[in-house]
Amino acid sequence: MCILCILYIHMSTPSNTTGTSDDTQLILSQADSRPIYVQIMDEIRRRVALGDWAPGTRLPSIRELAANLKVSVITVKRTYLELERAGVIVTQQGRGSFVSDELEVEDVRSEALQQHLASAAQLGAAMGLTHDDLVDELSRHTKN
């Protein structure tokens, strides 16, 4: 499930004039053990959450992204399908995929947060921490 090495990829030529998706780098890590499509989904989500890819931004075509990331076309297809199902992107037949207009960047951000909190809660339960222990642990981080 790994990418050969850390990939710094320019998905399209940076175009400062149009204001569309400039600086479109996706960086995947070889050491990440999750399925590649999940890694790409998270990367795209992160871009959207950070506001780098505003709603309406056109995503690279599936084959373009596959070539740039050096991963199979079917993996990128799956990524886009899952992102579409999650409402992050919309695909228009023959036109390509875009960051959803109806998407609240806040939602994506909070979704990422929810994911992290959920896994923290899971881990906490496995370690036998109580609800209060977990809250204490979290507040230690917020104070920092």
State in angstroms the smallest separation of the CB of 28 from other proteins. Answer: 11
State in angstroms the smallest separation of the CB of 1 from other proteins. Answer: 6
Whichever of 97 and 100 has its CB closer to other proteins, that residue is: 97
- Taking the C-alpha atoms of residue 97 and residue 2, their distance in angstroms, rounded to an integer, is 25
* 70 interacts with other proteins by CB under 8 A: yes
Chosen residue from 41, 59, 66, 89 binding other proteins by CB under 8 A: 66
* 6 interacts with other proteins by CB under 8 A: no
State in angstroms the smallest separation of the CB of 69 from other proteins. Answer: 8
State in angstroms the smallest separation of the CB of 36 from other proteins. Answer: 8
Tokens of 113: 């947060």
Chosen residue from 63, 119, 136, 138 binding other proteins by CB under 8 A: 63
Tokens of 102: 């109806």
- Taking the C-alpha atoms of residue 96 and residue 101, their distance in angstroms, rounded to an integer, is 14
Q: What is the DSSP string of 55-102?
A: TTPBPPPHHHHHHHHT--HHHHHHHHHHHHHTTSEEEETTTEEEE-TT
* 36 interacts with other proteins by CB under 8 A: yes
- Taking the C-alpha atoms of residue 86 and residue 81, their distance in angstroms, rounded to an integer, is 9
Q: Which residues bind other proteins (CB under 8 A)?
A: 1-5, 35-37, 63-64, 66-67, 70-75, 78
